Structures are given as C-alpha cells and as structure tokens.
Amino acid sequence: MSGTCNTQRRAVLKSIGGLVAAGALAPAARAQTGRHIIVTDPGGPYGPAYRKAFYDPFEHATGIRVISTARESQPLAQFSAMVQTRNFIWDVTTLTLSADVLQLEQQGFLEPIGLDAAQLPGMIPEAVRPDWLGVNVYGTVLAYRKDRYGANGPRSMRDMWDVNRFPGRRALRRNAVDSLEQALMADGVPRDKLYPLDVERAFRSLDRIKPHVAVWWSTGAQATQLLQSGEADQIITWSSRAQSAIESGAPVVIVWNDGTYAIEGWGIPKGTPRAEDAKAFVRFCADPARQAILANTVAAGPTNSKAFDFIQPARAALLPTAPDNIRQEVNLNAAWWDKNRKAVTERFNTWLIG
C-alpha cells in the first residue's frame, strides 16, 4: 500500500503544481527557517487530526512551519475585516462551501489559488473552486440509542417525526441550515426534489415536531454529550459527533438515510503576504493519502475518492462520502442558502423562541 500511496501522492502533487512535488523543494525550503504560515481550524478533535494529516507532513516536505490555532465557528466577519484592513492575523482557514465561500467570493475577499477540477482527478467536483479547496465532508444525520429502540429504531426523517411509533426524547440542532431540509424530508419531499426549499411547508413540518424536542443543541460537544448521557434517545447531529459517542462506548446507531452533507476546506484571505506558501499548503491537502489520514483520525469524509484506496472498508463505512452513504444523503445547496440564509435564519430564530 505504501508504494501505491507514494505513487498517487506524486501524481497528484505534480498535477497541481505544488511546491512539494516529489520533495524537490524540501532542502531549499528547510534552509529558510523563518518561513511560516498561520492556519486556523475548528479546534476540538480536528486540531490534532489536521496536524497529523496536513500540518506536520507539509512542514516535513517543505520546511514551511505551520502555526495552527482554533478559531470561532463563524469566520466571515473576521475574515472580511482582515482583508479590508490588511491586518492578516492568519493566512489560511477552514471555510464551509454552504455557509462561507460564496459570500467571500462575491466580495472579492478570497485569494486566487488557481485550482482546476480537471487537474484533480477523483475530487468531488463541488470541492474545487479557483479560490477554495474542500478537503473534508461532514454529514448531518439521525442517530439513536440502541438501548432505547433495540433493532427497530427510526430509519428516516419521517420516522424521526413520528412520535407515536418512536416515542422518546429528541434533540435537534439550533440552526435553520439542515433543519429545513430535514423537515421537508420528514413531510415526504424526495431528496432529489428538495430545492428550491418550500419554506412555508418546512415550517409547518417543524411546527409538528417542535413540542417533542427536548433539546435544541448548538455545539458539537453538546450533541455528543446528549448521546453519551442518554439525555437524547434520538438526535440529528454531525456524523463525526455520533461516531465519537460510539467510540466512547455509547450504544448509538447512525442512520445515513435522509442525511445531509456539507463540504469544508481551505480559503486564503486576499492579500496576505504569505499567499504563495499558503497556496502551496492548500494544494498539498488535495493529496488522497493525506485525506485518508484525516479520515482515519476523525470520521470526516474525504473529498478525494482516491483516499478510499488507503482506508479500510470498516472505517470507510463510517464516513459521509463512502459510496453506500453518500447516495442516501443530500448535498446542501450552497447557492440557495447564500441567497436565502439571512431571511430564513431570522425567521427560524424567531420561530424557535415563539
């Protein structure tokens, strides 16, 4: 496997013109000990996972130090302020396609990287934009406790909404994104017919489930704790958080059917003085072998399908982009949410406290 891994890594890096192609630049880069980039990530389990998969290997290959730090979950305001004031406190950050990328593109705040999907075989097409590279996928799924439902637990959003057949404590995310899609699928809308979202129908569906929701969670750590403690019998949560509960010993089942997924990856604030080194880092992260290391550390799906060559089948089954899982999920429509996010979010927040 290691020979195949090295071959594919060289091919990918050559195709994207990265600094690390075949390690040719490593000796020269190592001599320049002052070079560094500052990268921010979501923190939690992702910090050490990114370090293992991307930061340390990039440092080893190029000699460019990666200084990493966790940041706020919503980077738009800080990202925009850096570009406008030219006060660059970091050079690369994780951005979600469905929440961040389109807005930053429209404002001209993303540094062009020169990425081309045609040069990156195996990548999910939506994960490659000229100024952004998606490197992992997180799924939002239904999960339930086996000690509550046994072998006959809920298997769809419609089941999640069926409080008579599946009584129990429910927990949903305190966010309009995903919640509207889930409400519509629970109301019988087919996955391939969701967009444009029927907002009125979605809120009527949410009205039906609202009295039965014990907790509206807001952080991934909270969602994991709800499953671990048994405070929730059913929950809609990120698949990696449900997997964390399973790995801690909680009797939890993940249901991929009617799940949604979003792509997360790297963007560079336009004008950062370390842009060239930042671009080299972003290109490096397209490598399927590197993405496989990430997926083997946290249950995030790789965006490069070739990464599955380096992931054992049992592990692949836990990931949102595994072929058997992704066909049951819906890719969040970034364009729809970019256009409607503000109004729908305001309505959702008002509805939630009403």
98 and 11 both lie in a single domain: yes
- Kindly state the average pLDDT of the residues 39-47: 89
132 and 221 both lie in a single domain: no
- What CA–CA distance (Å, rounded) separates 301 from 298? 9
33 and 156 both lie in a single domain: no
Q: Is pLDDT at 353 greater than 50 in this prediction?
A: yes
Q: What is the mean pLDDT of the chain?
A: 90
pLDDT at 72: 66
pLDDT band at 16 (very low <50, low <70, confident <90, very high): very low
* The total number of structural domains that make up the chain: 2
Q: Write out the chain in H/E/C secondary structure.
A: CHHHHHHHHHHHHHHHCCCCHHHCCHHHHHHCCCCEEEEEECCCCHHHHHHHHHHHHHHHHHCCEEEEEECCCCCHHHHHHHHHHCCCCCCEEEEEHHHHHHHHHHHCCECCCCCCHHHCCCECHHHEECCEEEEEEEEEEEEEEHHHHCCCCCCCHHHHHCCCCCCCCEEEECCHHHHHHHHHHHCCCCHHHCCCCCHHHHHHHHHHHHHHEEEEECCHHHHHHHHHHCCCCEEEEEHHHHHHHHHCCCCEEEEEEEEEEEEEEEECECCCCCHHHHHHHHHHCCCHHHHHHHHHHCCCEECEHHHHHHCCHHHHCCCCCCHHHHCCEEECCHHHHHHHHHHHHHHHHHHHHC
250 and 310 both lie in a single domain: no
- Kindly state the average pLDDT of the residues 286-312: 95
Say which range, 3-7, 66-70, 283-287, has the weakest mean pLDDT: 3-7
pLDDT band at 34 (very low <50, low <70, confident <90, very high): confident
Q: Is pLDDT at 150 greater than 90 in this prediction?
A: yes
Range of the domain at 58: 2-137+262-326
Q: Is pLDDT at 288 greater than 90 in this prediction?
A: yes
6 and 116 both lie in a single domain: yes
126 and 243 both lie in a single domain: no
pLDDT at 185: 98
Q: Is pLDDT at 259 greater than 80 in this prediction?
A: yes
Q: Is pLDDT at 73 greater than 60 in this prediction?
A: yes
Within 13 Å of residue 197, how many CA atoms lie on the same side as its CB? 28
Q: Is pLDDT at 294 greater than 60 in this prediction?
A: yes
Q: Is pLDDT at 12 greater than 70 in this prediction?
A: no
* CATH number of the domain to which 341 belongs: 3.40.190.10
Q: Is pLDDT at 283 greater than 90 in this prediction?
A: yes
Q: Is pLDDT at 116 greater than 50 in this prediction?
A: yes
pLDDT at 25: 42
109 and 155 both lie in a single domain: no
118 and 192 both lie in a single domain: no
pLDDT at 10: 45
Q: Is pLDDT at 33 greater than 90 in this prediction?
A: no
